[in-house]
Structures are given as C-alpha cells and as structure tokens.
Structure 1
Amino acid sequence: MEKDHQKTDVESISDEMLVSRTTETNDTYWYGMLYDRYSHRVYHKCLSFTRSVEEAQDLTHDIFVQLFVKLRTFRGESRFSTWLYAFVYNFCVNYVQRNLNKYRQTFVPTDDFKDEAAEIEDDAIFGLKEAALMKILDMISPDDKMILLMKYQDDFSIRDISSALNIGESAAKMRLKRAKHRLLELHNEIN
C-alpha cells in the first residue's frame, strides 16, 4: 500500500477528511493528525471532570484508543469537533458515575425548583467567580456538569447540545435550564 502523506499540509486538511482517510486506510498517520489537533483539549476536558493530572492523562489515552475503533460511526451530521466532544463528555460522565465513591457528590439535586418558570440569564452564570464555580461544578451531578461545560466552556448551541446528546432541542433547553438552576441554587447555599 502506497502512503500518500509524504508532504501533506496538516493545516489544510479538514477534520472530516482526516476521519475519512483514517477509516478508509486504517493508517494511523491520519489518526495521529486528529490526535495532535485534539489531544490537548480532550485532556483539559478530562481534567475538568477528574481534577487529577494522572487520571486525565489515562482518560485521554483511553478515549483516543476507543475513538479509533468508533471513528467509523461518525456520520458527518455535525462537525467532527462536536461529535468528539460529545464522545469525550459521555466517556467522562460514565467514568465519574462508575467511580461515584471517589467523586462523592455533596449536593443532591432535586427537581423541585422554587421558580421553575424563571429563566436564568447567562450573565448570572458568567458573574460567578471562577474558584467558586469550579468548586460548585465538582459538587453537581456529572450530567449537569457536562451540559454546562458544553454550553459555557465549548460554546455549544442548543442544536449542538441536542445533537451531541441525541435528544430533542426542547429537551436540551430544559436540561440546560435545570442544570443552571442547580448551579445557582448550590452557589446560593454556599454563600
């Protein structure tokens, strides 16, 4: 098999093309390009869930090993980065849920909100101090943390969240709204 990647301009190749070349040829060279593009971001997402450098490194490795196998399931219905981040979030949420004793929640979320109809503006979330926000994010459920990070860290639209979680847009809006309520409710309890 002749390799056609001798003088490839890495920057000019789209993610989708790298996925296509990887799946067509099983050539790890192309997959290595995807790894180089995204490993740093994936590591930081893992670190935001585990707060442990070693665990984040292990998770990043495990994610990219599993991703190589799952790459053929990428259908191109969203950007590759959206699909990848959904994969990473789901992997991290599953990891944290499997290790709940280690990541014991100190806040038990409820569905009983004082004012469920009240919309929480994004400015209320952005106004939280970073240290307090990081502490609270470690205390809420992994699912709530995932959707909040998608929205506020990765700037996912409701459509992107909907696609990543394989739910309807109205369900994505409701989950985001509930997660924001839980975040601010816990913030108010702490302060």
Structure 2
Amino acid sequence: MTADYKKLSDEELVFRYAHRNEPAAVNCLFDRYGHLVFGVCAKYLRNTEAAKDATQQVFIKLLEDLRRFEIQHFKSWLYQVSKNHCLMQLRKPIPVVNNEIASTENVESYSELHHKIEEERLYDKLDAAIAELNTEQKTCVDMFYLQKMTYAEISAKTGYSIMQVKSAIQNGRRNLKIKMEAIREVKS
C-alpha cells in the first residue's frame, strides 16, 4: 500500500489525508519532504537539535493545517510554513534566569536577524516576480534554477525545443533582473 502512495502527486496525498483521513498519505509527504523542512529549519535556527524539533513541530501543525486550507502547490506552501515557523522561533524572547541569558547558543544579534528578515523579503519579492513571468519563462526558470534540471531534461518534460528552453531561461532571467532592479530603486 505504501508503494501506491509514492506514485501519487503531493496534492493527491493532501486530498487523501484531508478528505479521506488516510494517515499513510502524511507519512508519504514526510518521507518526501522531511529533509526539505529540516534543511530550512537548520538554515534559520543554526542548531541541529532545534532544527529536528522544529521539523517535528511543522509536521504536527501540518496535520491540522492540511484539513483547514486548500493547498494548491504543496512544496512551496510547506517551504513557506517552515520558514515562518523558524522566524517565529527566532523572534521569541530569550529566556533570562537570575539576570543572565539562559542560553546564548541560538542568540543572534539584532542586526543579523534584521538582515535575515530583509533577505526573506527579497526572496518573497523574487517569488512574486517569477509569478509575473509568462508561462514558458516561469516553467523553464523554475525547472532550471530551482529544480536543477538540465536543458535536455526541461525539453523532455515540457516538449519545448532546446532553443526554446535556452531562450525562455535567458529572457526570464533578464525580466527578473529588470523587476528586481525596479524593486531596489523603489526601496532606495
């Protein structure tokens, strides 16, 4: 039965858990994306144990959220949920015991945290800029840069010629650069 779940899309797994109450569907999602969530948590929290705990907390929260929300793109949604969970952890007040900070292990300076938040805003703006690209550019840019696929793999998966793929990536990259420069100018 587990092998059958591995063949299903993320959205079908979400549907099976949310509407049919099939726990094996969530187990399959965990097997598929547990490493992604752990990686995001490790990046932000910079502590292996804290990242493990956060990964568990994200998937526990997922059990409720999958039933509450209509999720179109599970992987990107899960990434955003993981990122937000970590940012909330970083914003929590630092425990003080006997007028001393209880643990300085995860403490970052205000400027480092501010820098991370600014960086995340830029990533969010980049995501929005990617969403504004035409379908061909968006697909090819996503597959090439985010999914690390080769031109040949993109061509095989989309049916576009190699030249169409190269052109879409080049034009998409140029359009993204223009959009991001416009954002920087507005910010300045």
**Residue 153 of structure 2 is aligned to residue 158 of structure 1:** no
Task: Tell whether the 8 Å contact from 1:105 to 1:139 is kept in structure 2 after alignment.
Answer: yes
Residue number in structure 1 paired with 2:118: 144
Using CA pairs under 8 Å that are at least 6 residues apart, name the structure with larger relative contact order, 1 or 2.
Answer: 1
1:35 and 1:64 in contact (8 A); partners too: yes
Paired AA for residue 22 in structure 1? Y
Match of 1:23 among 18, 24, 32: 18
Q: CA deviation at 1:16?
A: 0.3
> Does the CA-based 8 Å contact 2:14-2:66 persist in structure 1?
yes
Cα RMSD of the aligned pairs, angstroms, is: 3.4
Pick the structure with more helix per residue.
Answer: 2
For structure 2, the 5+ residue unaligned runs are 96-105, 132-179
Distance 1:22 1:150 in 2: 29
Structure 1: stretches of 5+ with no match in the other structure: 108-137, 161-172, 182-191
2:91 equivalent in structure 1: 97
Total equivalences in the alignment: 130
**Which residue matches 1:34?**
29
Q: Residue 177 of structure 1: CA displacement? A: 4.2
Runs of 4+ off more than 6 Å:
none
Closer, same or farther: CA 87–177 of 1 in aligned 2, 3 Å: farther
Superposed, 1:78-89 pairs within 5 Å as 78-89=72-83
TM-score normalised per structure 2: 0.57
Post-superposition CA distance 1:96-150 (Å, at most 9, x none): 111457433252xxxxxxxxxxxxxxxxxxxxxxxxxxxxxx5544422434566
Q: CA deviation at 1:159?
A: 5.7
Q: 8 Å contact 1:93–1:146 — kept in the other structure?
A: no
In terms of Rg, which structure is larger?
2
Question: What does residue 51 of structure 2 align with?
Answer: 56
Equivalence for 1:135 = none
- TM-score (ref. length: structure 1): 0.56
